[in-house]
A and B are shown apart, each in its own frame.
Chain A
Amino acid sequence: MSHFLSLNLNTNQLNSLLFEKQTGLYSLCGAASQDFDLRDPDSLMPAFREMLQTLETESGTTFLDKDHRVIHTGFDGTDGLNAIGFSFSAARPIRVALIGISEAYSLSSLRRLVSLFDAEVVLEMRLQDPLSQSQQLQALSNADIEMLVIAGGSEEGASRALRNAIENTRLFYHIMPKSIQPQIVYAGNQILADYARIEIEAGDDFHLAPNLRNAEGQEDLSVAWKAMLNAYERVRLQQYPQLRELRAQLRTPLMPASFALGRMARFVAKLGKAGKSVLLADLSEEKTTLLLANEDGLMATSHPNAIDDDTLLKTQFYCSQNLSSLEVAEYLHNKKLFPQQLAVTISDFAVEQAWSRANLWRGLCAMKAVFPGFKFDDTAGLKEACDPIILSGSRLSQDLEPHQILAVALDGLLPHSISTFALDEKQILVALGALAEKEPLLVVQMLELESFRNLASVVSLSSQDYEESSLLDLEMVLGEEEARAYHQVSRGQLLKIETAGKEDLRVYLAPSARTDLGMGMPGLGGWITVPNAELGLVIDARERPISISENPETRAKKWRDWLWELGG
């Protein structure tokens, strides 16, 4: 029997999943969580040991030796762990500076590259801008950065500006006093790669990657992931020195949870239907991470759940109780002080759910800003067909009922076309993503199992004429012996049809001539198979953008009505 551990850290919790392999079959054999405080250097290792002891009890296997150190198989007898994945999802971002030659060819690529690595871009330098070398150096010195990523230049192209930037990087790296030694990732003109390494003299703090643009000028961000992962880990170990002991015991590199999720998003996209994307949305108390993968590549964004004017307004807009912006802000500011606080009143709970919707919306807007090709409109929602949409994170998996989770996702994302909504309650995707490189078969088998909660299949309509009396007719085959059921869906309706435990319910969708179900063209329908889901089949015929009253009382009531339609 072999055991595989995946460990994820956020600011105040260690979460782990334990998998076992027996006669070629993998299964999830344990899960444990342990509270700790990432900013308290003494709390991590005791929490880790306590968590492993819980897993020892659950699995009946020994993972710690007599000195409370992790046993790796082959090191100390037959017990122990065969492979470990180690991911990190705390909200504190890495302060990154980007240096590129041009906006179109280097800086935009760099933004996309760092979006997968918990980065907050605090400085961007376009070498085509008329900044003197002194001004560039001054800007670098003032920015208090933890990582610097340099790209730009074609292999045989002009190099003077890049050389000057490299020289500035050397000065900045060696002269300025810093609490965190910045990591330098170079992914530019490869003719200058050796020059950059020798000139900057940063030793292990220098990370070389191939040029982000190949000889044909095509962008390929994946070539720089290895260098970014190394740089990421070195920054995190400096930010939180207490991680070093754990890292040494685990003997496995630390990676951002968003990167682990990205691996899984790409994997699921490869398994999925052509022409559809996979969307993963992870909402924790601290931050929101969105990943979208399709045959064109991977898009990612991750941002702390900061309280700003835009998100406050949007939260108030989404709130199913008529609350003033002051009341909303007050609750959210207090929640930031006390993340564990429970929403015991109806108003507080309404703000909680509205805040999750607002963060999804903000995440999509952030993704659109970094990936201009992403099909999204900040009022009309997603224009990209996504299937499946997998939700995870404590803000969704704790305290919410299935219909509330679905309502949050539907309102925040405004999906397009036909999508399956699933909930990754145990954060299994992060765990598998962290282990994927070491145990690829584990990923394949676990994704085949019923690892997620299937919430609903959702058909989202978009119509060129919402005034039509009926936007969609449905015919449902309930069983060979039973009569068929028929439904008609009109404008603004959110219709839930329970599948009532039926596996693979057959449904015929007949849209009106001007209604698009994402099946190729407006008016085109067809048979679909709806798997058994907790909420069944949901038809979302609300307009895009959602048409809702500006009167706060009426608007709040409308959100409540829609929630009621989904389950009360």
Chain B
Amino acid sequence: MKRVLIAKNQAVTRCVCLPAPGNLKVRAGETVDFGTVIAELSQPERFEMIDIPSHFKVSPEQAEGMVKRLVGDVLAKGDVLAQKDGFITQLFRSPGSGKVVSLREGRITLAIGMQKRQLLSPVPGIVAELLDGSGAKIALTGSVIEAVWANGKSAKGELVFWDELEKKGLGIASASVKDKIVAFKKTASGGQIRRLLRLKPAGVVLPSVSVKQLKALDECDTAVLSFLGFGEANMDALSLNMLEMMLGKTVYLLGETSINGPKENPILIMPEAKLPDLGLGKEEVNLEPGVKVRLRGKPYTGMVGIVQALPEEPAVFASGIKSKVVVVECEDQQVINASVHNIDLIQE
């Protein structure tokens, strides 16, 4: 059964990882802020193989005697790599700063330049665990809304509602959006999204993403997340309440996922000045009468209700498929028989 977290004072952990092991810059138990360097990875910018025998027109054996470097030597641009003595001494110089990584039969392989990749903390918190030299698990406490899709980017900013800004009617000034996290209460149109992205927000929070806009949102530099998935749906009532509580405060949109780390859904979190309790002792909600659920699938996507009953007998749906159902009473008193596969249990 899928669970979705929409909760206050919730302990959360996030794994942040480099694509390969690097140098860790933090220690377990250390407090980190948004943007703190967690780890660094250095790798050569490019490789260059220099064939000394063909440059000096000598045999590989002769060339070996002309090479003036050893494997591991660090070089500056212009340093001599090989020298051929004679009436006029010929020199071969390094084409860039780097390191000799291989010497074979007069051929020199250089690793030139160093690319440094830094892994930054996307959220303030405490380093709960170090992950094999490639990153760390950050723990924090806060008000959390779990999402189902993000474009792989994270952001920090003050939360504002687009709908409120639009109501003012005089056009939206860049300053009221720039570097902020902008939430939509309803499905955003293509025009609204384009207009918003031009104003350079730090992040965008959507109830759902139209498939038409998926490519643009997936590839844009702004962090984007969706609470309900794809299609046209309005923000569900619980998420909306939580967003209203976050309004005007600094929130963090965590949309990065690591292919090698554990699966983590994107979240929107507003940290609280409390020590994280790592969730120990919190009871996991189970499917039973009285619990809150959110429905998935047209035409109910995003509707929130309370489970009234769990009939033993499976029901047959319009498609002809049989499934166990839950009887859910929604906020508008509508009673819906939903398949157990098409609901999310809400963990509050």
Q: Which of A137, A342, A346 contacts B339 (CB 8 A)?
A: A342
CB of A23 within 8 A of chain B? no
| Any B CB within 8 A of the CB of A348 | yes
- Known: A39-B262, A138-B46. Contact between A342 and B317, CB under 8 A? yes
Does A128 count as interface, using CB distance less than 8 angstroms?
Answer: no
0/1 interface trace, chain A 136-161, chain B, CB 8 Å (1 if under): 01100100100000000000000000
Whether B49 pairs with A179 at a CB distance below 8 angstroms is no
Q: Does A218 reach chain B (CB closer than 8 Å)? A: no
Q: Find chain A residues with CB under 8 A from B342 CB.
A: 341-342, 344
Nearest Cβ distance between residue A40 and chain B, in whole angstroms?
A: 6
Is B291's CB within 8 Å of the partner chain A? Answer: no
Please tell me which one of the listed residues B41, B259, B341 contacts residue A177 in the complex, with CB atoms under 8 A apart.
B41
CB within 8 Å: A-B pair count:
114
Contacts of A141 in B (CB 8 A): 43-44, 47
User: A167 to B318, alpha carbons, bound, how many Å?
Assistant: 62
Which of B175-183, B267-275, B319-327 is the contact stretch?
Answer: B319-327
Given the known A-B contacts A326-B212, A337-B148, A348-B297, are A176 and B321 also in contact in the complex, defined by CB atoms under 8 Å?
no
Q: Which residues of the partner chain A approach B48 to less than 8 Å between Cβ atoms?
A: 134
Known: A40-B262, A348-B319, A349-B319. A334 touches B47 (CB 8 A): no
Once the chains are docked, how many angstroms separate the CA of A175 from the CA of B149? 36
**Complex alpha-carbon distance, A167 and B49, angstroms:** 11
In the complex, A470 has a CB within 8 A of chain B:
no
Which residues of A (73-92) have their CB < 8 Å from a CB of B?
A: 92
Task: Name the residue among B107, B211, B230, B262 with the largest chain A CB count within 10 angstroms.
Answer: B211
User: Hey, which chain A residues are within 8 Å of B43, CB to CB?
Assistant: 141, 176-177
Q: Indicate if the CB atoms of A175 and B111 lie closer than 8 Å.
A: yes
Q: How far is the CB of B26 from chain A (nearest CB, A)?
A: 19
Q: Check: B53 CB closer than 8 A to any chain A CB.
A: no
Cβ-based interface call for A41 (8 A): yes
Which of B149, B231, B261 neighbours the largest number of chain A CB atoms within 10 Å of its CB? B231
Name B29-82 residues within 8 Å CB distance of A. 41, 43-44, 46-49
For chain B, the bracket of interface size reads 35 or more
**In the complex, what's the smallest C-beta–C-beta distance from A547 to chain B, in angstroms?**
28
Taking a contact as CB atoms under 8 Å apart, the answer to whether A137 and B49 are in contact is yes
User: How many Å from the CB of A47 to the closest CB on chain B?
Assistant: 15
Chain A 480-497: CB-based contact to B (< 8 A → 1; otherwise 0): 000000000000000000
Q: Which residues of A contact B44 (CB under 8 A)?
A: 141, 175-176
Q: Is B89 close to A, CB under 8 A?
A: no
How many residues of chain A are within 8 Å of chain B by beta carbon?
40
Set B47, B211, B298, B317: member contacting A333, Cβ < 8 A: B211
Q: Is A401 an interface residue (CB 8 A)?
A: yes
Interface stretch, picked from B14-22, B138-146, B159-167, B247-255, is B14-22
Contact: B109 with A171, CB < 8 Å? yes
| Given A179-B20, A333-B214, residue A346 in contact with residue B318 (CB < 8 A) | yes
Interface string of B213-238 (1 = CB under 8 A from A): 01000000000000001110000000
The listed residue (B2, B47, B259, B318) touching A344 by CB distance below 8 A is B318
Query: Once bound together, how far apart are the Cα atoms of A134 and B51, in whole Å?
Result: 10
Q: How far is the CB of A180 from chain B (nearest CB, A)?
A: 8
Q: In the docked arrangement, what's the CA distance between A536 and B323, Å?
A: 28
A-B residue pairs, 5 tightest by C-beta: A349-B319, A39-B263, A344-B317, A177-B20, A342-B341
CB-defined A-B contacts under 8 Å, sample of 21: A39-B261, A39-B262, A133-B107, A134-B47, A141-B44, A144-B19, A170-B102, A175-B101, A175-B111, A176-B43, A177-B22, A179-B18, A180-B260, A333-B214, A334-B297, A338-B148, A344-B319, A344-B321, A345-B298, A348-B319, A349-B319
User: Which of B's residues lie within 8 Å of A, judged by CB?
Assistant: 2, 18-22, 41, 43-44, 46-49, 101-102, 104, 107, 109, 111, 134, 148-149, 211-212, 214, 229-231, 259-263, 296-298, 317-321, 323, 339, 341-342
